[in-house]
């Protein structure tokens, strides 16, 4: 059962009643790398790191000891549009976890000596990431399709920008963006909801006041054919949209179905058009020479936003193409039938005002051409002829089963629900999600394939 509460300062609480001896708590902030100006590229991720270095009540060592000392875990991750802090603890220590989360999220001190050390840590993180082409290519592909748009730059930032970060700049960015009405606190526990609310009130979270700020500093304009003109959200499974690459938290990079919407109105600031620069997509190709044994390739196109009526169908189409299952079209073609790749995956990544869809694979350099030809051939089949009713029903059945399995991973599931809550103000249960899948038809997927798979509009990035 899901319960909600909103304090007078705009801070929203999502509570999921569950059984067990472990409780989950976290805070999601609607602030990510796209909210940074050019001189502050990497600041959202930098704050995610340095918040753990001490708040108004607890220093860095106390934060570690008070959570890990009781067997708990605490972590955080940054995406293009959100920053999330969360903890898992034995239920008897839930109040402690909530208190620490409130402290590091709303009262970080950003001590100078800790900032200097953490800057070096992030330098190493960037170097490690640059040494992993299968990870780095996702960032470079976003840079390719989004170009000068704020969604283009890396979440980690660069040594060039990081070297200028200091306590004052971190505090200024934090005070501008870490506002209660941009936050969701989520809790999963078997404790009564009223008791959880008292724990939250005790931290002072409910008394923090807001200040004025701008949500995003730009808006992306996708290919005209991908704009539906509708901002009424519907339920959807979005594959891969909560497994961001880079050191964001997820150690596993296997995409999985994720519900991120609901049948209700999005936060008004996300659809108000308060953006000050425009950018239009133009397909392009790039190749970078990397000293790797394999070639790494990504291809794709802009797609639909979180609030677009086509998003449900797009998520299903993604699953059919190569959304993480061994029986996906591209896995069967490239790996099982031809033996050309070890890994091939597609992902649909929706943002608040745009999105993109892509395919990634790695192969022997001399097989790249054959792989691309096979991919376009499989996409053409989906574009030229609708799936049979029997085949489409099988995909629907599979996706509904994956939903049920995903919901059993309590930590991952509550993180997914928190994102729904952040953007739509409430969440959907499993029955509503499965109804959304059942409502789609093979005809809708075929029409979407015809709309999406215009190969002249694809961008392609290669590491050779």
- Kindly list the domain boundaries of the chain, sorted by start residue: 1-209, 218-464
pLDDT of residue 201: 94
Mean pLDDT of 375-388: 97
The better pLDDT of the pair 361, 209 is held by 361
pLDDT of 110 > 90? The answer is yes
- pLDDT, tens digit (0-9, with 9 covering 90-100), for 204-244: 887 777 653 333 333 444 444 443 333 333 333 333 333 33
Mean pLDDT of 291-307: 95
At 249, give phi and psi (nearest 5°): 150, -40
Contact 279, 273 (CB under 8 A): no
The rounded percent of the chain whose pLDDT value lies above 70 is 85
pLDDT of residue 260: 37
The better pLDDT of the pair 435, 213 is held by 435
Residues 6+ apart with CB under 8 A from 172: none
pLDDT of residue 228: 38
Helices (H), 253-408: 311-322, 329-330, 368-384, 389-407
Contact 299, 459 (CB under 8 A): yes
Q: Do domains 1-209 and 218-464 have the same CATH topology?
A: yes
pLDDT of 126 > 80? The answer is yes
Give the dihedral of Cα atoms 218, 210, 78, 39; nearest 10 deg.
50
- pLDDT, tens digit (0-9, with 9 covering 90-100), for 51-105: 999 999 999 999 999 999 999 999 999 999 999 999 999 999 999 999 999 999 9
pTM for this prediction: 0.86
pLDDT of 291 > 80? The answer is yes
CATH number of this structure's domain 218-464: 3.30.830.10
The better pLDDT of the pair 438, 227 is held by 438
Q: How confident is the model at residue 421 (pLDDT cuts 50, 70, 90)?
A: very high
Give the Å distances, CA to CA, from 359 to 152, 383, 443, 448: 18, 16, 23, 17
Give the Å distances, CA to CA, from 91 to 73, 367, 381: 13, 53, 52
pLDDT of residue 81: 97
DSSP annotation of 205 reads G
C-alpha to C-alpha distance for 314 and 382, rounded to whole angstroms: 13
Beta bridge partners of 285: 460
Least confident of 6-20, 198-212, 245-259, 301-315: 245-259
At 438, give phi and psi (nearest 5°): -65, -25
* Topology adopted by domain 1-209: Cytochrome Bc1 Complex; Chain A, domain 1 (3.30.830)
Element spanning 144, H or E: helix 133-146
Least confident of 92-96, 277-281, 415-419: 277-281
C-alpha to C-alpha distance for 133 and 303, rounded to whole angstroms: 24
Mean pLDDT of 434-450: 96
pLDDT of residue 380: 98
- pLDDT, tens digit (0-9, with 9 covering 90-100), for 6-59: 999 999 999 999 999 999 999 999 999 999 999 999 999 999 999 999 999 999
pLDDT of residue 334: 98
Q: Are strands 12-17 and 183-189 parallel, antiparallel or unpaired?
A: parallel
Beta bridge partners of 74: 87
Q: How confident is the model at residue 1 (pLDDT cuts 50, 70, 90)?
A: confident
Q: How confident is the model at residue 433 (pLDDT cuts 50, 70, 90)?
A: confident
Mean pLDDT of 364-378: 98
Instruction: Show the tokens assigned to 40.
Output: 């502050």
């Amino acid at each position: 059962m899901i319960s909600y509460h909103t304090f007078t300062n705009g801070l929203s609480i999502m509570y999921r009643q569950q059984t067990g001896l472990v409780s989950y708590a976290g805070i999601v902030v609607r602030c990510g790398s796209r909210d940074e100006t050019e001189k502050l590229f990497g600041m959202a991720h930098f704050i995610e790191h340095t918040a753990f270095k001490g708040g108004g009540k607890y220093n860095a060592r106390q934060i570690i000891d008070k959570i890990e000392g009781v067997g708990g875990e605490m972590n955080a991750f940054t995406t293009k549009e959100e920053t999330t802090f969360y903890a898992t603890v034995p239920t008897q220590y839930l109040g402690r976890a909530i208190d620490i989360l409130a402290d590091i999220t709303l009262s970080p001190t950003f001590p100078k000596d800790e900032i200097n050390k953490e800057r070096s840590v992030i330098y190493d993180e960037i170097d490690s990431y640059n040494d992993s082409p299968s990870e780095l290519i996702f960032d470079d592909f976003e840079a390719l399709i989004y170009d000068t748009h704020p969604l283009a730059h890396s979440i980690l930032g660069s040594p060039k920008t990081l070297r200028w970060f200091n306590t004052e700049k971190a505090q200024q960015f934090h005070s501008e963006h870490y506002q209660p009405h941009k936050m969701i606190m989520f809790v999963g526990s078997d404790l009564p909801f009223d008791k959880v609310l008292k724990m939250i009130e005790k931290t002072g979270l409910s008394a923090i006041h807001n200040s004025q700020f701008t949500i995003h500093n730009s808006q992306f304009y996708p290919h005209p054919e991908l704009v539906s003109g509708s901002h009424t959200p519907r339920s959807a499974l979005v594959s891969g949209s909560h497994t961001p690459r880079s050191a964001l938290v997820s150690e596993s990079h296997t995409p999985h179905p994720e519900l991120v919407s609901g049948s209700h109105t999005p936060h008004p600031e996300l659809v108000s058009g308060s953006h000050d620069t425009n950018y239009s997509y133009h397909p392009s190709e790039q190749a970078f020479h990397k000293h790797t044994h394999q070639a790494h390739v990504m291809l794709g196109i802009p797609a639909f936003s979180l609030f677009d009526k086509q998003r449900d169908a797009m998520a299903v189409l993604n699953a059919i193409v190569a959304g993480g299952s061994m029986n996906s079209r591209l896995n069967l073609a490239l790996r099982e039938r031809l033996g050309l790749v070890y890994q091939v995956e597609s992902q649909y990544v929706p943002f608040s005002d745009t999105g993109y869809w892509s395919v990634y694979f790695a192969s022997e350099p001399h097989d790249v051409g054959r792989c691309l030809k096979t991919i376009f051939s499989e996409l053409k089949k989906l574009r030229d002829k609708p799936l049979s009713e029997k085949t489409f029903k099988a995909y629907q059945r599979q996706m509904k089963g994956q939903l049920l399995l995903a919901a059993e991973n309590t930590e991952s599931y509550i993180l997914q629900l928190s994102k729904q809550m952040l953007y739509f103000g409430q969440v959907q249960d499993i029955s509503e999600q499965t109804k959304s899948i059942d409502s789609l038809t093979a005809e809708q997927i075929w029409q979407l394939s015809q709309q999406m798979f215009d190969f002249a509009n694809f961008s392609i990035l290669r590491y050779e």
